[in-house]
Amino acid sequence: MPVEQIYIARGTRLEDVAPEVAQLSSQAGVGVESVSRRWLDEHSERGAHQGLMASSAPFAFTPLESILASAGDKTSSLLVALDHITDAGNLGAIARSAEVAGADGLITAKRRSAPIGAGAYKTSAGALAWLPVAQEPNLVRAIETCKKSGYWVVGASEHAKSAIWDQSLEGKLLIVLGSEETGVSRLVAEACDFTASLPVVGHVGSLNVAQTAAVFIYEWVRRTRAQP
């Protein structure tokens, strides 16, 4: 996300608190404005600014068709779709796992989804600067588009009869993860080729969606690496 303006607490020199930021902002022609700490408190997320904050341009989404075209004729490719994930921390953590594993893209729903802003960027540890993200108004239609490009689609569901270990995950795969409260929606689940669960041995019913994503993603990595 390109930085448009830097705000710093009044009475503080940017060079003193963040010399590298001062140098980069000067080179890029980004303005620095002195504001009150109260202004920073009001405009930052949960007041966690440490006397310094930046504003950026809106996140630039990538058309799904462009993501599929970039994946091209790969025999192995991973995409991850989020069915109304509303927590920015979860979105960022999933993006981090996907990017580290070499996924070709992330797909989010346009409505009732977490925004891609400071919170998601922070949790992603910068992964969202590298991972293409498509924002789709109709997730079922997006899934069908991926199928036409040769992707198998698995929905992560605690209600699935088969565990992830018993399903075929090799090749071109789209992993669908549902919302924190209700999981994968009915219509989206019906659009999947199959669903899979993670075995639960303890007393807690399921993992957090970001943890589930990491397990599914790395099971795909393990299977892909095992292929001759």
Per-residue model confidence as pLDDT tens digits over 72-122: 889 999 999 999 999 999 999 999 999 999 999 999 998 888 888 878 888
- Are 70 and 181 members of one domain? yes
- Are 132 and 69 members of one domain? yes
Q: Are 153 and 191 in contact (CB under 8 A)?
A: yes
Q: Is the pLDDT of residue 208 over 60?
A: yes
- Measuring CA to CA, which residue among 169, 171, 227, 170 is closest to residue 194? 169
Q: Are 21 and 6 in contact (CB under 8 A)?
A: yes
- Are 33 and 81 members of one domain? no
Residue 93's pLDDT is what? Answer: 96
- Are 25 and 120 members of one domain? no
- Are 95 and 179 members of one domain? yes
- Measuring CA to CA, which residue among 177, 211, 210 is closest to residue 195? 177
Q: Are 111 and 138 in contact (CB under 8 A)?
A: no
- Are 104 and 138 members of one domain? yes
For 7, the domain range is 3-56
- Are 9 and 117 members of one domain? no
- Are 135 and 193 members of one domain? yes
What count of residues does the chain have? 228
Looking at the 3D structure of the chain, how many domains does it have?
2
Residue 228's pLDDT is what? Answer: 54
For helices 64-71 and 139-148, give the axis angle rounded to 10 degrees.
Answer: 20
- Are 116 and 25 members of one domain? no
- Are 120 and 161 members of one domain? yes
